[in-house]
Amino acid sequence: MWPVVVVDGKTYDLWTIKGILARFEKWERKKAGKDQAVLAFQDGWYVGERKVVQENVEIVAHSIVDGRRDLDITVTLHSVGAEVEIGGTHEHDKGYGGGLEIRFAPRTDTKLRSAAVEDAPDSDRVPAAWAELTGNFGGKIATTRVTEDSSNPGAPNGWCLRHYGFVGVEYPGLELRRLDSKVPLTMKFRVSLSGSSASAGRADQHVLVYTHNGKGYVHDNIQTSVEAIKKMGAENGFAVDVTDDPLFFADQTLKQYQALVFANTNNEAFVNDSQRNAFKHYIESGGGFVGIHSASGSERDWPYFCSVLGGKFVRHPHQQVFLVRVKDANFPATRELPATFEWKDECYLLDHLNPDNHVLLVTDYTKLDDPDKAKHPDGGFGESMPLSWYHHFDGGREYYLALGHNKADYSNPLLYNQILGGILWAMGGK
């Protein structure tokens, strides 16, 4: 809700605009199913009997997964026959008021977090991609996280955060935003509700899964890999945030995470050197890194990233079945693997391998069906071409797994447990 509404040059208080409160009453159930429910609200804002704004709100409620329910909320506004501007309050320069606000009650022992601050104080207008409140609600610990869609105007916007039980996006803050009559203002948010088990994990370990792809081939396994990692987090007590937005790569944001997982990223992972520097600072400060499959094709022109991952993708022959041999069975990612196993995948050939890589999995390149084998009869590796490794580079802990092209394999324990073991180790486990 916006505390300041200006219609044809005259400023009105929020509560004098007829229709503002209608959203609490006039909801329509558009869909109700096993996996999803959709609620919608359509009405206007009125000055007297004159309609000046059309407001549409849709809430898509997803089924509960691993103790968490996600609500996707879309708000659209456009003016109707009037010049309309909206803004936040100037009282104490708070900018209070915006696209989505949530109040909590009853609550005690609250804690605030955001993408900008781990233990956030009461604050106004601090930009962040998300914010969450954890508290005791009638004897049960619960967490509500609000994530602002990166497509929202001004994103990441500032937030109004209060320990007494308030989380709100402050858009447009102290500046007025004019509503267009033809092109609606559209804002999207995800509200994630989780119970005590998920909240306990959130308090300790946090992982950021990054899926950005630059121009070029994009794998269709990304969402499957993300869902698998979310499941790992729910089962093992660590929180999982997911983004494909390079804006997440800022020092204050990254320092909250024990590990970054590049899940099938490819080509340019970043759009500017500021983001690359934030990634570098994160590694230098002891952060954990996990690369899955095509992550080795990311940032190919940046030698530092190649050194962090441990190598750089060159090419692969056609997908085929090959024998994988475990070279080190004492690492968390390989402890539960058989000594050898057959696997169908793209068998990646990499170069610029970091000499400090501790190789975990290998295959015999000479036995692959590769039309280009004549150019490199043993691929440079002979019977022990590396497929996975870990190492310590520039202060960080890095793990890479070249397997993982096929979507169905992310539910296969052979792949699932390797990725889980790599993440736990990168976060500081043994």
- Tens of pLDDT, residue by residue over 16-43, are 666 666 655 677 888 777 788 999 988 8
Which 3 state secondary structure label does DSSP give 91? helix
Q: Which amino acid is at 192?
A: S
Reported as a single tens digit per residue, the pLDDT across 65-79 is 767 889 999 999 999
pLDDT, greater one: 310 or 47: 310
Q: What local confidence, expressed as pLDDT, does residue 96 receive?
A: 65
pLDDT, greater one: 404 or 12: 404
What average pLDDT does the segment 161-184 reach? Answer: 89
Q: What local confidence, expressed as pLDDT, does residue 202 receive?
A: 41
Is the pLDDT assigned to residue 102 strictly greater than 80? yes
Q: What local confidence, expressed as pLDDT, does residue 248 receive?
A: 85
Q: What local confidence, expressed as pLDDT, does residue 93 receive?
A: 63
User: Residue 361: beta bridge partners?
Assistant: 326, 388
Give CA separation, 408 vs 69, 221, 279, 345, in Å: 24, 9, 31, 11
Q: What local confidence, expressed as pLDDT, does residue 194 receive?
A: 83
What is the token pair recorded at 333? Answer: 């990612």
Q: What local confidence, expressed as pLDDT, does residue 345 receive?
A: 95
Give CA separation, 322 vs 38, 363, 389, 408, in Å: 46, 7, 18, 17
pLDDT, greater one: 401 or 95: 401
Average pLDDT, the chain: 87
What average pLDDT does the segment 408-417 reach? Answer: 95
What average pLDDT does the segment 234-251 reach? Answer: 88
Question: In angstroms, rounded to a whole number, what is the distance separating the alpha carbons of residues 6 and 90?
Answer: 14
Q: What local confidence, expressed as pLDDT, does residue 95 receive?
A: 55
Plot region of 216 (φ>0 → left; ψ -120 to 50 → alpha; else → beta): left
Confidence bin at 190 (pLDDT 50/70/90): very high
Q: What local confidence, expressed as pLDDT, does residue 383 receive?
A: 83
Domain boundaries, the chain: 4-198, 204-426
Confidence bin at 359 (pLDDT 50/70/90): very high
Is the pLDDT assigned to residue 197 strictly greater than 50? no
Question: In angstroms, rounded to a whole number, what is the distance separating the alpha carbons of residues 146 and 189?
Answer: 7
Share of the chain above pLDDT 70, in %: 90
Q: What local confidence, expressed as pLDDT, does residue 107 receive?
A: 64
Does the 204-426 domain belong in CATH 3.90.75.20? no
Is the pLDDT assigned to residue 199 strictly greater than 50? no
Confidence bin at 399 (pLDDT 50/70/90): very high
Min mean pLDDT across 79-83, 245-249, 269-273, 280-284 is at: 245-249
Question: In angstroms, rounded to a whole number, what is the distance separating the alpha carbons of residues 333 and 397?
Answer: 14
What average pLDDT does the segment 117-144 reach? Answer: 85
What average pLDDT does the segment 5-16 reach? Answer: 82
Confidence bin at 200 (pLDDT 50/70/90): very low
Reported as a single tens digit per residue, the pLDDT across 292-349 is 999 999 999 999 999 999 999 989 999 999 999 999 999 999 999 999 999 999 999 9
What average pLDDT does the segment 177-203 reach? Answer: 76
Residue where the block lists tokens 């007829």: 18
Q: What local confidence, expressed as pLDDT, does residue 374 receive?
A: 73
Q: What is the dihedral of CA 269, 260, 385, 326, to 10 degrees?
A: -160
Q: What local confidence, expressed as pLDDT, does residue 409 receive?
A: 95
367: CB partners within 8 A, 6+ apart:
322, 323
Confidence bin at 198 (pLDDT 50/70/90): very low
Is the pLDDT assigned to residue 44 strictly greater than 90? no
Q: What local confidence, expressed as pLDDT, does residue 347 receive?
A: 92
Asked if 299 and 311 touch (Cβ cutoff 8 Å), the reply is: no
Question: In angstroms, rounded to a whole number, what is the distance separating the alpha carbons of residues 115 and 343?
Answer: 39
Q: What local confidence, expressed as pLDDT, does residue 203 receive?
A: 42
Write out the E strands in 267-417.
Answer: 288-292, 312-315, 320-326, 340-345, 349-351, 358-363, 385-393, 396-401
Which 3 state secondary structure label does DSSP give 395? coil
